[in-house]
Amino acid sequence: MVIILSFTIGETAHISLLDKLDVIYLQKVECNHPVRFLTHVGRRNRPYCTSSGKVLLAYSNEDVIEAVIKNGLKKFTKNTITDIYPLV
């Protein structure tokens, strides 16, 4: 299914899930664009600083979101959200 999605939309596609306070990538299909996503299957990232993690948080219950915020919003890049209000 991820291969079909990637081919249909012409973009890289991921399957990921929230595992405790991290997002983990289970599958990745790259598109043919010269600019690539720097993600790796099996890698863990903080959900508030990845696009797939933000989608998963958007559909998570309040307890999960509060736990992520309580764990801290560390800045990884200049675009990392470190304020709780854009997340809630």
Type of residue found at 74 = K
- Over residues 4-31, the pLDDT tens digits come to 988 898 888 889 999 989 999 999 888 8
Q: Are 32 and 53 in contact (CB under 8 A)?
A: no
SS3 81: coil
Residue-wise pLDDT tens digits, 54-84: 999 999 999 999 999 999 899 988 888 888 8
Say if residue 87's pLDDT is above 70.
no
Per-chain mean pLDDT for the chain = 87
Reply yes or no on whether the pLDDT at 41 is more than 80.
Answer: yes
Could you tell me where the DSSP H helices lie in 1-88?
2-9, 51-58, 62-70
Going along the chain from its start, the domains and CATH numbers come out as 2-70 (3.30.450.40)
Cα 79 to Cα 31: distance, rounded to the nearest angstrom = 24
The whole-model pTM stands at 0.80
